[in-house]
Chains A and B, each alone.
Chain A
Amino acid sequence: GNSVTQMEGPVTLSEEAFLTINCTYTATGYPSLFWYVQYPGEGLQLLLKATKADDKGSNKGFEATYRKETTSFHLEKGSVQVSDSAVYFCALIKPGTASKLTFGTGTRLQVTL
């Protein structure tokens, strides 16, 4: 079946540090890949997406590249801010369907001054 594995958190960084949150997936074919973010007390928000190999999704300074050869979709940001503190979820949708997102367990990011 399809699955998503994320690095365990919490990840604690100082403001302006470089961020990487690792995500790898297992799926047949070419799934669509997503990063969602959940700020404290809020619902899930779509952060970025990529639909085919070598696509790079980007938004709000975050980037992730769809790597078919390593089945990875790592999230990166060059300089984090305190306001980026949240839980980040990597997810996939099975290719050729319109149905369920399969999520990883989430990685909590804490950014301090």
Chain B
Amino acid sequence: DTGVSQDPRHKITKRGQNVTFRCDPISEHNRLYWYRQTLGQGPEFLTYFQNEAQLEKSRLLSDRFSAERPKGSFSTLEIQRTEQGDSAMYLCASSSSVNYGPYEQYFGPGTRLTVT
């Protein structure tokens, strides 16, 4: 069990550019979550997958954001036309509906996005 991994760990981009982040969950976990954390705040929920199905999306997830989990394993989060307000730490977490519980989510190290 290698834990949840995220790539890249840091991303600096110019306003208006598109960025994509990847998350690899713990291998036997069927649930995957994305959160966003800004400085001095707790993480805020963005979206949730069970297997490949995206089951819930926050209103924080504007139409510039899209997430996928095509084969029910890794997930990607894309932000189009980035804005300075998108600067944050993007966290991925995973959990299992079968072996762990209830509902314990395990977090990756995060991707820090800076939009200049």
Contact = CB atoms under 8 A, between A and B. Distances in A.
B65 interface: no
B72 to A, nearest CB: 15
A42 B109 contact: yes
A101 B50 CA distance: 15
A98 B97 contact: yes
Interface residues of B, number: 28
B103 to A, nearest CB: 5
A44 interface: yes
A51 B104 CA distance: 11
B43 A101 contact: yes
B43 A105 contact: no
18 contacts: A43-B4, A43-B91, A44-B93, A44-B107, A45-B107, A46-B104, A49-B104, A51-B102, A89-B42, A93-B102, A93-B103, A98-B103, A100-B33, A101-B33, A101-B45, A102-B45, A104-B42, A106-B42
Given A93-B103, A100-B58, 19 more contacts: A4-B42, A32-B102, A34-B104, A42-B109, A44-B93, A44-B107, A45-B107, A46-B104, A46-B105, A46-B106, A89-B42, A91-B42, A99-B33, A101-B33, A101-B105, A103-B44, A104-B42, A105-B41, A106-B40
